[in-house]
Amino acid sequence: MNADDRITTESLVREIQAMADELCPHCDQPVSLEDALRCRAFGSKRRPKCFAGLADFLGESADVLDAQLQDYFEQRDCYRGAWEWIQSHNDE
């Protein structure tokens, strides 16, 4: 068991809602809920960044990073649940 086991979809949603109020240090734009969840997955919680900013920060191409994130979310119910919550939230 690792620390991630205590994370629930509900706790992730609360975290990313707080993170999404911040401006990306990379481009000064507000961070979206999707970007907040991506940053959360990569442990970049304190200074959330947009996807391009996160890729730049990690030194990965956007394609590689996107594939890694899809795998990560697939394996974790809490993240997949939060991702699905974002999609339904965006539709409202």
Smallest CA-to-CA distance from 50 within 67, 65, 64, 38 is with 38
Residue number with CB closer to Zn ion (27 or 67): 27
In whole angstroms, how close is the CB of 54 to Zn ion at the nearest point? 8
Buried b (16+ CB within 10 A) or exposed e, 4-26: eeebebeebbebbeebbeeebeb
Residue 77 CB contacts under 8 Å (≥ 6 apart), including other chains? 9
Confirm or reject binding of residue 24 to Zn ion (CB under 5 A): yes
Instruction: Select from 4, 10, 14, 27 the one that contacts Zn ion (CB under 5 A).
Output: 27
Confirm or reject binding of residue 53 to Zn ion (CB under 5 A): yes
Confirm or reject binding of residue 36 to Zn ion (CB under 5 A): no
**C-alpha R_g of the chain:** 12
Instruction: Select from 9, 15, 20, 26 the one that contacts Zn ion (CB under 5 A).
Output: 26
Size of the site for Zn ion (CB under 5 A): 5
Smallest CA-to-CA distance from 37 within 53, 52, 51 is with 51
Confirm or reject binding of residue 62 to Zn ion (CB under 5 A): no
Residue numbers of the site for Zn ion (CB under 5 A)? 24, 26-27, 50, 53
